[in-house]
Structure 1
Amino acid sequence: MKITQVHTVNLRTILSETTRIVKANNTDFIALYIFFLPLAFSLVITPTLHLHLSGSFFTVDLFHNSLANNQTLVTCHLLYILIVYLLTLCAIGTIGYSTYNVFIGTPVNFFTSLKSLTFIFFPIVSTAIIAHLLLLLISLTCLLFVGMIVMLGKSLGILVIDYNSIYFMWFSIATIIGITIYFHMNWCLAFMVVVAESKWGFAALMRSWYLVKGMRSVSLSLLLYYLICNGGMAWSFSHTVSFCVLRRETLSFVLLTMFGSFFLMLCLVMNTAANTVFYMYCKAFHGELELEIGYGFDHHYINLPSSDDTVVGA
């Protein structure tokens, strides 16, 4: 048996261990990847459909007027978004459950992972709703606070700000993005807490915040890495597919949509698995997991670092 003592936890470590786990056990829960397919397909095709409807066949005003006058279309669109979102949460739950069990050396298969939804689905949905509501309230509070400072500065003659200025708009967007990234960096393990520790809601968010403490540089690196990968892949494929639509190249459109959805789906799977691996390393960092973890069918083992010998690097 090969034992590897790890002293440095960084982005490369997380990605390396994630790749090994996914490759070694890919056939055991590959059917779970299908849960991510609707999201991947939507990210690739939605910009193209909007361009096609608003640019090729209709004017923008006609398109928006048709949405306003057709309540059925709006309802179906919202229902589709809800279904895609729920399937995405199912993907995160089942793939996280599978990766977690593989990581600790417990046999897992498709039906076992699917069965896990019976006890993790509603806690994950509840945790997601609470996280979104908290993030919305925090963002609004920060924007109101900044607005009060700006209004006070204008009343005192210290600041001169044009609310219609493009710079003010970008400042507001940057503020919201910064808040979202900060809290996502600290709440990134909340779903894994639901899966592995049966905690949900505010308790899962606080537990994630505690586990990430001391590992935030790795959490931020992991977040930005997959944000760039997923965003770049979705943008490049959707842009290419849109070009095929404008050129009326049907075969290229179909092939690129299929390939784009497939590769984006794989990237989302790797993202979820990486969060699971990061969760295990965070537990080890806090001295909660000082044991050897098996890689299932790979038969290689890793001795996770304790809080005394772990060095965190971005």
Structure 2
Amino acid sequence: MEITPVHTLNLSGVLSTSKRIIRANYSHFLALSLFFLPLSISLVITPTFHHFAVDLFHNFPQNHKAVSSHLLYILIIYLSTLCAIAMISYSTYHGFVGKQVNFFTSLKSLTSSILPVIITAIVAHIYLFLISLTFLLFVGVIFTSAQSLGFVIDYNSIHFTIFSVVVVATLIAIIIYFHLNWSLAFVIVVAESKWGLAPLIRSSYLVKGMRSVSFLLLLYFGIFIGIFAWLFSDTMYPPTSSSQSFLGFPMLGSFFLMLMFLRSSASNTVLYMYCKALHGELALEIDEGFDHHYINLPSDEEKVPQIVSVVAA
């Protein structure tokens, strides 16, 4: 086996390691990323056909079937996205420690992981809703108290606008903070067979010392996904353009978005492994006889396990 030093535990190290794992099994990961296609298409194509939905609701305001179909469409996108995250996390996790992965094994893993992933997602959404509601209620109490004390609030003043911007920015910061703490939750569900609140608590523990890397990953992929979604949507190529632009560019954009979601999920799994290394837990994932400062990775060219040293930044 070849011994190759890895990048330190930073953004560059996470991205390069995830890229190495994907390249070693590119066709496998490409097949799994197809589960991201509904989400990718919805981010690009849906704005293009938005006027159809507007006409539908305008002409049929009482059409409950139309509303139900849209809700079903959103549910399908959400479930396919969770399936993609679960399978890509499973494959990246096993690829990280040098184990062989294939499409059917990853697909089979859904039977034991998809329900815990869904439950964990629901728990996370409930907690985020309660946290957001508590914050907004707190802001409401401040407004009510100010008015009861005789303060006159001018909703058209620049001061109220600034205050509103601060409130919204604070709420976004709170949501991002909890997202960073829980960023490893789905990987933990797949790798450690935990579900519900337990993966959220476990993720908050593991991500300590690596929140900056988690934030940079969120920023990195968030910017690129946002740019691709904007460039290939009807913002740049409206329906009045040629048919080639109307169909070709959105589909090309959907493909690029699909690959970005793939890289994001794989990188998040690598981050999980790096967090375990930082907490001295990676030795449990390595074959007996290896020191915990070493991990197995598939080689780029030969697709065989490769020993790579892990060092903290």
Task: Tell me whether the two structures share a fold, i.e. TM-score over 0.5.
Answer: yes
Work out the CA distance in 2 between the residues paired with 1:36 and 1:178.
27
Residue 53 of structure 1 and its aligned partner are, at CA, apart by 5.2
CA drift of 1:166 comes to: 4.9
Gaps of 5+ in 2: 284-291
1:302 alignment partner, one of 305, 308, 311: 308
Deviations 1:136-180 (A, max 9, x none): 000010111122123323433567452896545544432332222
Q: Corresponding residue for 1:85? A: 78
Checking the alignment, whether the CA contact within 8 Å between 2:91 and 2:106 is kept in structure 1 is yes
Is 1:281 the counterpart of 2:274 in the alignment?
Answer: yes
Shift of 1:298: 5.0
With 145-154 and 104-113 compared, the bigger mean Cα shift is at 145-154
Are the counterparts in 2 of residues 100 and 276 from structure 1 also a CA contact under 8 Å? yes
Cα deviation, residue 52, structure 1: 5.4
Residue 98 of structure 1 pairs with residue 94 of structure 2: no
- Equivalents in 2 of 1:159, 1:9: separation in Å? 53
User: 1:192-227 CA deviation, whole Å, 9 max, x = no partner?
Assistant: 000000001100100000000111111111111111
Residues in 2 aligned to 1:15 and 1:123: alpha-carbon distance in whole angstroms? 27
Is 2:169 aligned against 1:174?
Answer: yes
Unaligned runs of 5+ in 1: none
Name the TM-score, length of structure 1 as normaliser.
0.88
Residue 8 of structure 1 pairs with residue 8 of structure 2: yes
CA deviation vs aligned residue, 1:264-291 (integer Å, no higher than 9, x gap):
0000000000000000000000010143
Tell me the residue number matched to 1:246. Answer: 240
1:1-314 alignment to 2 at 5 Å?
1-6=1-6, 8-51=8-51, 54=54, 58=55, 64-66=57-59, 68-157=61-150, 160-162=153-155, 166-167=161-162, 169-240=164-235, 243-247=237-241, 249-290=242-283, 291=292, 292-296=294-298, 297=303, 299-305=305-311, 310-311=312-313
- What is the DSSP-based 3-state SS (H/G/I as helix, E as strand, rest coil) of the residue aligned with 2:194? coil
Aligned-CA RMSD value = 2.1
1:107 Cα deviation after fit: 0.7
Amino acid at match of 2:9: V
Deviation at 1:126, TM superposition (A): 0.2
Paired residues of 2:90 and 2:191 also in contact (CA < 8 A): yes
Q: Residue 122 of structure 1 aligns to which amino acid in structure 2?
A: L
User: Whole-Å Cα distance in 2 between the matches of residues 97 and 281 of structure 1?
Assistant: 16
Q: Normalising by structure 2, report the TM-score.
A: 0.88
Letter of the 2:230 partner, please give it.
W
Contact 2:2 2:306 survives alignment (8 Å): yes
Q: 1:303 to 1:98 in 2, by over 3 A?
A: same
Which residue does the alignment assign to 2:287?
none
What residue identity is the alignment partner of 1:206? I
Tell me if structure 2 keeps the 8 A contact 1:29–1:109: no
Give the direction of change, closer, same or farther, for the CA distance of 1:158–1:166 in structure 2 (3 Å limit): closer
Bigger drift between 9-18 and 128-137 goes to 9-18
